[in-house]
């Protein structure tokens, strides 16, 4: 079965797809440093404050017996998408690395904030390595073995279809030094014809391109991982009217930056990491896609009949 884990990793991204092929795909990493944080007690109001209780994705993978990662996809070269990349590569065997051909530069004078300069230096080293992992620069519409073709060339495999970027979008991002519009956007087609979009930090130019070229592919999807964590800077003015996601997952960001109104005005359901902590989706449930969360209080608020499932280490809240 295909299982998607949308991890609560502070203000960053990390997604794990367990494919039926037994391949593991990791999209981005954040909060991957071995740091222990202590926070105040959890609020039981509408703001559940789960941003203050992020998981370390490396520990999360270890606890679930991951040893090999078939592909690691870095959507774009922002530090909140590679926070802990060195530790990830040091801990697990990683066979394939998807990277954009960006020319972003950071130096000793850059503002590193809470991030580790060693992660950036490691990224620069690994992306030019001729040894393992295999570095792939893939663009919209490309097809290949294992990500969307089987060994005999038939469609399917791990169900990952690239909607962006294009070489033009990457080139333009390199010139403008705004790297959100060179972000990978990936359509995941499950074996039971469900559609999930992993949108990275894609912005207006990317979605203009997608709607011009893949409008029917992205129409009426099941789940959207909101672009740019759900911020107002993600997407464009029209994409939600086409996608009409049954459920959207937001990452963590300050509430004033999140684009709640675009979803609320359209009557579109959404859940944030700040509410639910981690969100796990079994894409092949009996009646649809089963959604679990790792924060019990929020689960009971969503569904008074919730139950805990040990196989997902989460509480069931809905089927879509």
* Residue extents of the structural domains in the chain: 3-319
Q: Would the CA dihedral through 176, 178, 181, 186 be positive or negative?
A: positive
Q: What is the model's pLDDT at position 45?
A: 40
Give me the CATH code for the 3-319 domain, please: 3.60.15.10
Q: Which runs of E-coded beta strand occur in 105-184?
A: 134-136, 160-164
Q: In the structure encoding, which two tokens stand for residue 71, read together?
A: 């592909």
HSE of 318, CA atoms in CB hemisphere, 13 A: 13
- Looking at the predicted structure, is the pLDDT value of residue 113 above 70? yes
**Is pLDDT above 80 for 44?**
no
268 exposure class (CB count in 10 Å sphere: 0-12, 13-18, 19+): middle
Average pLDDT over residues 254-268: 92
Where does residue 262 rank: exposed (0-12), middle (13-18), buried (19+ CB within 10 A)? Answer: buried
What local confidence, expressed as pLDDT, does residue 254 receive?
A: 83
Rg (CA), the chain: 18
Q: Does residue 116 register a pLDDT over 70? A: yes
Query: pLDDT for 82-107, tens place per residue?
Result: 999 999 999 999 999 999 999 999 98
* Closest by CA position to 72, among listed 134, 9, 5: 134
144-162: average pLDDT: 93
pLDDT higher than 70, residue 3: yes
Taking only the tens place, the pLDDT of each residue in 270-293 is 999 999 999 999 999 889 999 999
Name, of 2-6, 112-116, 149-153, the range with top average pLDDT: 2-6
Which residues are CB-contacts of 292 (< 8 A; sequence separation ≥ 6)? 279, 280, 281, 282, 299, 309, 312, 314, 315, 316, 317
**Sequence-distant (≥ 6) Cβ neighbours of residue 121 within 8 angstroms:** none
Q: How many CA atoms lie within 13 A of 137 on its CB side?
A: 9
Report field, pTM of the whole predicted structure over 0.85: yes
Asked which of 43-47, 244-248, 257-261, 316-320 is least confident by mean pLDDT, the reply is 43-47
User: Residue 6, SS3?
Assistant: strand
Mean pLDDT of the chain: 93
The answer to whether residue 40 scores a pLDDT higher than 50 is no
pLDDT-derived band at 129 (thresholds 50, 70, 90) equals confident
**Per-residue pLDDT at 1 exceeds 50:** yes
Q: Which residue has the higher pLDDT, 38 or 202?
A: 202
265, pLDDT greater than 70: yes
CB 291 within 8 A of CB 194: no
Give 120's pLDDT tier (boundaries 50, 70, 90): very high
Residue 244 has pLDDT above 60, yes or no: yes
Report pLDDT for 34: 57
What confidence score (pLDDT) does residue 154 get?
A: 85
């Amino acid at each position: 079965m295909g299982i998607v884990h949308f991890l609560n990793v502070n203000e960053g991204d990390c997604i794990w797809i367990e494919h039926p092929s037994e391949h593991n795909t990791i999209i981005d990493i954040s909060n991957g440093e071995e740091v222990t944080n202590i926070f105040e007690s959890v609020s039981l109001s509408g703001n559940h404050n789960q941003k203050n209780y992020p998981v370390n994705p490396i520990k999360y993978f270890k606890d679930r017996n991951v040893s090999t990662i078939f592909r690691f996809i870095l959507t774009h070269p922002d530090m909140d998408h590679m926070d802990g990349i060195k530790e990830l590569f040091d801990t697990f065997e990683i066979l394939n690395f998807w990277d954009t051909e960006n020319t972003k530069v950071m130096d000793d004078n850059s503002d590193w904030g809470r991030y580790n300069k060693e992660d950036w230096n490691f990224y620069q080293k690994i992306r030019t390595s001729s040894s393992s992992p295999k570095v792939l620069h893939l663009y919209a519409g490309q097809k290949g073995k294992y990500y969307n073709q089987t060994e005999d060339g038939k469609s399917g495999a791990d169900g990952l279809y690239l909607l962006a970027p294009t070489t033009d979008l990457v080139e333009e991002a390199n010139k403008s030094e705004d790297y959100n519009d060179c972000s990978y956007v990936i359509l995941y087609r499950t074996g039971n014809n469900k559609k999930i979009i992993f949108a990275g930090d894609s912005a207006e130019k990317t979605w203009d391109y997608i709607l011009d070229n893949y409008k029917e592919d992205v129409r009426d999807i099941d789940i959207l991982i909101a672009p740019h964590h759900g911020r107002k800077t993600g997407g464009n003015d029209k994409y939600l009217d086409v996608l009409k996601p049954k459920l959207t997952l937001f990452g963590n960001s300050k509430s004033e930056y999140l684009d709640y109104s675009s979803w609320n005005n359209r009557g579109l359901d959404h859940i944030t990491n700040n509410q639910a902590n981690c969100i796990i989706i079994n894409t092949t449930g009996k009646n649809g896609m089963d959604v679990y969360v790792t924060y019990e209080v929020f689960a009971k608020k969503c569904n008074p009949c919730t139950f805990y499932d040990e196989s997902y280490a989460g509480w069931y809240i809905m089927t879509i």
